[in-house]
Amino acid sequence: MPKIVKLMQGNEACTAGALAAGLRFYAGYPITPSTEIAELCAEELPKVGGKFIQMEDEIGSVAAIIGASLAGKKAMTATSGPGFSLMQECIGYASLCEIPIVIVNVQRMGPSTGMPTSPAQADVMQARWGTHGDHPVIVLAPGNVRECFELTLRAFDLSEKYRVPVIVLTDEVIGHMREKVELPDPAEVHPLRRAMPAAPAGYKPYAADPNGGVPLMAPFGEGYRWHCTGLFHDESGAPSNKGEVADRLLRRLMLKIENNVADISDYASEGIEDCELAVVTFGSSAMSSLSVVRRLRKEGVKAGLLRLKTLWPFPEAAVRELAARAKTIYVPEMNLGQLALEVERVVAGRSRVVRIGKVTGELFRPEEIYNAIMGAK
């Protein structure tokens, strides 16, 4: 089949990526600026034998996709800030019970109802720490429409591989912007399929595979008997109040991500090989930043851009390596300093870190970043 070249919206590309990954169940509650994802899933899923349900709210939405995933289906929901807040309790449940789900959060200006049609990037920390308790989670951040396709597809693969909730963190600019996109031939897309455990007899749902630390998951309805609970549990899934059981489980949950940071980490860069001045950012702020870095290069300044496509686990190695070269690292983001906290932690004083925050509900204009860099230089 020929490649499809078309003008595509970010939200549309997220949906296309999910469908390419094998999405068969979507439950959601529409919210600006994510609604197109629900609309398109309602249109497309029935055509491939999938199901779409509009739920009563976002709590119901995430609970429903957890159920679908337990039954063996690739499942997703999409929302924005207020809905993402409501989903937090169930994200913790999916983390502890190791249920693969994908949540797209198209960020808008908050807190609270905020400015519903305006972009922000202020859910960086909520995406990592929104639910209570230590917990594993993966957060991916597309930087253009094409990456909405690629990273949503990847989100499904990672959620299956590590049995974790994966959050695709976009924003109103990327969600609603349209650009020329070339989609891969569907025959060349090979989404990860969930590996089935051996025979149902003696199945232990939480007996970690000694190689990767990730147990094999049996879908409900296939003859495997297992208990799935948000209480701490032993390898059989039975609830346990024993300290050593909780300790072993939680450490394994965290390590299955921490031990695989290199596999999960993803970023793009321009000009970082010899840069004296670097910009570290993500999502739509990176589009403005790229324009600035290119302008600075033309003006003879050794500038570089590191654009993070994985936000969590935080790509520490890439940032640490950058700090060995760049005297100053600028962190533009549409919030008042969230990604910058991580950059500062990793850089640990080796470079100067300058925060550039914007909370007007608008994308950075390139000259705003340029002027901030010139003012701080």
Partner 1 sequence: MRVEFRLSGSGGQGLLLAGIVLAEAAILEGKNAVQTQSYGPEARGGSSKAEVVVSGEDIDYPKATDPDFLLALTADAYRTYGRLQGKGLIIVDASVPLDPEIKARTIPLPILDTAANVVGKKVVANIVALGVLGGVSGVVAPATLEKAVLNRVPKGTEELNLKALRAGIELASRAGGKVQA
Give the binding range for partner 1 (CB under 8 A) out of 51-59, 245-253, 261-269, 357-365: 357-365
Q: Give how many residues touch partner 1 by CB under 8 A.
A: 23
126 contacts 311 by C-beta, under 8 angstroms: no
Residues 164-193 that bind partner 1 (CB under 8 A): 173, 176-180
Side-chain-side CA neighbours of residue 35 (13 Å): 6
Q: In the set 5, 231, 348, 374, which binds partner 1 (CB under 8 A)?
A: 5
- Cα–Cα distance for residue pair 279/293, rounded to 1 Å: 8
363 contacts 285 by C-beta, under 8 angstroms: yes
Interacting residues of 167 by C-beta distance below 8 A, sequence separation 6+:
102, 103, 104, 105, 127, 137, 138, 139, 140, 155
Q: Give the Cα-Cα-Cα angle 138, 140, 141 (nearest 5 degrees).
A: 155
Residues 113-132 that bind partner 1 (CB under 8 A): 116-118
Structure tokens at 126: 């909520």
Structure tokens at 25: 């169940």
Give the binding range for partner 1 (CB under 8 A) out of 13-21, 43-51, 203-211, 363-371: 363-371
Q: How far is the CB of 32 from partner 1 (least distance, A)?
A: 8
**Residue carrying structure tokens 């409501």:** 86
- Cα–Cα distance for residue pair 256/279, rounded to 1 Å: 30
Q: How far is the CB of 337 from partner 1 (least distance, A)?
A: 23
Q: How far is the CB of 284 from partner 1 (least distance, A)?
A: 8
DSSP states of 211-251: TTS----PPTTSS------SS-B-TTS-B---HHHHHHHHH
Binding mask 258-297 for partner 1 (x = CB under 8 A): -----------------------------xx-xx--x---
Give the single-character DSSP code of 197: P
Q: How far is the CB of 370 from partner 1 (least distance, A)?
A: 11
Q: How far is the CB of 124 from partner 1 (least distance, A)?
A: 21
Nearer to partner 1, 32 or 85 (CB): 32
Binding of partner 1 at residue 371 (CB under 8 A)?
no
Q: How far is the CB of 7 from partner 1 (least distance, A)?
A: 5
Judged by the rule CB under 8 A, the positions of this chain that interact with partner 1 are 5-7, 32, 116-118, 173, 176-180, 287-288, 290-291, 294, 362-363, 365-367
